[in-house]
């Protein structure tokens, strides 16, 4: 059997029989990996508490010659991100990001930038260094950019007029086209999604600016609600389904009140 080692985040664990676990990892150099951990539920010593969701680990596993799931042999904690599992809202955000990564990535296809985005976002969420809602916006924007599906917030998707030259303060967003649509190109349509100029600028900065400085952005409550509504409509639409974890996040997340 072939032995492999990698650094990976544990994104999902499922009971398998009385003693085993089926685990889904996202690896820095190997992408999404599904492994079986034999006797992981019955032996506390074997993995020594390493197999907690969202932990970043060094793992070693063996691929079977006859096929089937590879077998996890060792797991050593690099960062447990333990605070994520002690706060239900943080767990909900982490679960949403994990589901996005698992749904988009293919087995054994390296996506190092996505691994590094996950590590960064989980680390910030765990440490509480940045506002959770802003971090969620940033993760979604960066994730969609890596997936090649980033929203067009720079110009009208029909006439290509730059957003700075739009004549009104709030602009509709055309989900099927994936971009803003100015009033000239769609004068009668009442959009279900609408973004103010200020929210557009802040989302543009989140998409391209330094992630470590996101905490300096100041959203009003109304703008934050507007941005959240937009991203949580855009992401499911362009991925083709609504993540179950997003439904849960919406249920438990307190809605900001307009100032």
- Residue-wise pLDDT tens digits, 147-182: 999 999 999 999 999 988 887 777 889 999 999 998
Is 127's pLDDT higher than 80? yes
Instruction: Determine which helix (DSSP H) or strand (DSSP E) holds 194, and give its type and residue range.
Output: strand 194-196
Mean of the per-residue pLDDT values for the chain?
Answer: 89
pLDDT one-digit tens code per residue, 103-120: 998 887 888 999 999 999
pLDDT per residue as tens digits for the range 31-46? 999 999 998 887 767 7
- ∠ CA 177-173-248, rounded to 5°: 100
SS3 content of the chain, % helix, strand, coil (to 5): 40, 25, 35
Residue 191: what pLDDT? 64
**pLDDT confidence band for 257 (50 / 70 / 90):** very low
Sign of CA dihedral 143, 181, 243, 130: positive
Q: Could you name the CATH architecture of 130-259?
A: Up-down Bundle (1.20)
CA distance 15 to 178: 39
pTM of the model: 0.90
Cβ burial of 175 (10 Å; 0-12, 13-18, 19+) is middle
Domain map of the chain by residue range? 130-259
């Amino acid at each position: 059997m072939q032995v492999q080692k990698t650094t990976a985040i544990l994104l999902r664990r499922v009971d398998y029989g009385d003693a085993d676990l089926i685990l889904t990892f996202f690896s820095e150099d190997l992408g999404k990996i599904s492994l079986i951990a034999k006797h992981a539920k019955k032996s506390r010593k074997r993995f020594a508490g390493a197999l907690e969701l969202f932990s970043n680990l060094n793992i070693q596993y063996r691929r079977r010659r006859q096929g089937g799931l590879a077998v996890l042999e060792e797991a050593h904690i690099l960062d447990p991100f333990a605070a994520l599992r002690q706060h239900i809202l943080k767990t909900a955000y982490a679960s949403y990001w994990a589901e996005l990564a698992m749904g988009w990535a293919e087995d054994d296809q390296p996506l190092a930038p996505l691994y590094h985005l996950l590590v960064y976002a989980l680390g910030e969420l765990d440490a509480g260094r940045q506002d959770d809602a802003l971090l969620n916006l940033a993760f979604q924007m960066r994730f969609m950019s890596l997936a090649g599906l980033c929203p067009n917030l720079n110009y009208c998707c029909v006439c290509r007029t730059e957003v700075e030259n739009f004549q009104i303060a709030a602009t509709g967003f055309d989900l099927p086209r994936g971009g803003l649509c100015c009033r000239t190109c769609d004068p009668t349509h009442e959009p279900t999604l609408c973004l103010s100029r200020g929210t557009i600028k802040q989302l543009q900065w989140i998409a391209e600016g330094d992630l470590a400085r996101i905490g300096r952005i100041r959203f009003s409550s109304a703008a934050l609600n507007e941005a959240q509504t937009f991203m949580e409509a855009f992401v499911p639409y362009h991925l083709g389904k609504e993540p179950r974890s997003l439904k849960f996040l919406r249920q438990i997340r307190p809605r900001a009140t307009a100032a």
